Amino acid sequence: MVRTLSLLLFAPLLLISQAFNYSSWNVQLLSRINPDTSLNTTPVGNRYSGCWGWYQSNKNREYVISGAANGTYFIDITNPQNPVVCDFVGGKKGCTWREIKTYQNYCYVASDDAKPNTFQIIDMQYLPDSVQLIHNSNSIFERGHTLWIDQNKLYVGMTTFSTGSSPMSIFSLATPSAPVLLKRIEQDISINLINQVHDMLVRNDTIYASAGWQGLHILKYVPAQNTLQPLSTYASYPFAGYNHSSFLTQNGKILMLGHNQVLEKNNPSMHGEYGVIQQYLAKEGKQSLKDATMGEIYLMNLPRLGSAGFDLFVPLAPLGMVADKLVAKN
């Protein structure tokens, strides 16, 4: 049996006028790099989004693959105090998000920003000297919100093809440079049950699909039959919101869920949360609040998609208490 641990991500639509400097906790900053200081693309600005790591075993080198508004950077961090930009692959300009995963020596890059867009495959075998873009079109698919690789299969959440779309699709990586479509989820699972897969975690063909407001769905992909079989659904639970993503512990016994509760300032059904959040900010400009009962509440300025907002980090034990305070009536 897999137990679940829910983590709420509260994202009120609240303007925070400045970003704060944060002290570290059990983390040491080794270096900082900003490859493109000239980037100023409206509405994204000078922003990086999405990153992945890759280890080049035949050369014993480590890399960060970082998405940016105008493309993807390949950065050698073998010496973490001295990161080196090895190469850059341009993509759709002004992207708010790039999703990156690797398989063997190939890097897969997708974005779900508006058309026109492309899915990219990049050969990394020539690093640290350079990379080679080998696919950059919409012929396999055009847009995808999230990627996951399990064994030799690529899973794409919220896939948009040149014609039509799918809540989730599965591709074979038997030939890593040329993925082949195996299955679209709506072929086996009713779209009334799952109309989007915002993110998915897959282990040994078992899919933990975060389906937004439709909750978490656990599915099994059966390669021999090329079918998807529903195993269970977890849609009704305390503080259920938009099921955003999940993570399974290494022993496979605990599944941690991340889900959003959107609290809108002008929504009459939400009472008091605006004032509560203001209290967190009012502590002499501090971004964290220490409370004897709730512990340390940590606030991070993080606007997304042109909307102002922030992420609120809360210790697990008082999570319910903090949620109650956020939605309590005046």
Residue 277 has pLDDT above 50, yes or no: no
Domains and CATH numbers, the chain: 1-22+263-330 (no CATH), 23-262 (2.130.10.10)
Report, as an integer, the average pLDDT of 298-312: 56
For residue 207, list its beta bridge partners.
Answer: 202, 219
Give the whole-angstrom CA distance, residue 288 versus residue 118: 40
**pLDDT by residue (tens digit) across 32-75?**
888 876 655 454 455 788 899 999 999 999 999 999 888 999 99
Burial of 131 (0-12, 13-18, 19+ CB in 10 A): buried
pTM across the whole model = 0.76
CA dihedral 305, 308, 313, 318 (to 10 degrees): -120
- 95 vs 228, residue with greater confidence: 228
Tell me the one-letter amino acid at 58: N
Q: Map tokens 């690797």 to a residue.
A: 102
In 3D, which of 120, 127, 141, 114 has the Cα closest to residue 75? 127
**pLDDT by residue (tens digit) across 114-134?**
888 999 999 999 999 999 999
Q: Which helix (H) or strand (E) holds 277?
A: helix 273-281
3-class secondary-structure state, position 280: helix
For residue 149, list its beta bridge partners.
Answer: 154
3-class secondary-structure state, position 238: coil
β strands within 119-272, DSSP E: 119-123, 132-137, 146-150, 153-160, 165-172, 180-184, 199-203, 206-210, 216-222, 227-234, 242-248, 254-261
Give the whole-angstrom CA distance, residue 311 versus residue 20: 13
CB atoms within 10 A of CB 102: 19
- 317 vs 133, residue with greater confidence: 133
Tell me the one-letter amino acid at 32: R
Q: What is the structure's pLDDT at 201?
A: 95
Q: What is the structure's pLDDT at 319?
A: 66
For residue 153, list its beta bridge partners.
Answer: 150, 172
- In this structure, are residues 8 and 323 in contact, taking their beta carbons and an 8 Å threshold? yes
Tell me the one-letter amino acid at 47: R
Q: What is the DSSP letter of 304?
A: B
User: Which band of pLDDT confidence, cut at 50, 70 and 90, is reported for residue 258?
Assistant: confident
Residue 303 has pLDDT above 60, yes or no: no
Q: What is the DSSP letter of 307?
A: B
Q: What is the structure's pLDDT at 121?
A: 98
Task: Name the percent of the chain lying above pLDDT 90.
Answer: 50
Give the whole-angstrom CA distance, residue 277 versus residue 280: 5
**pLDDT by residue (tens digit) across 142-192?**
999 999 999 999 999 999 998 899 999 999 999 999 999 999 999 999 999
Report the range of poorest mean pLDDT among 21-35, 156-170, 225-239.
Answer: 21-35
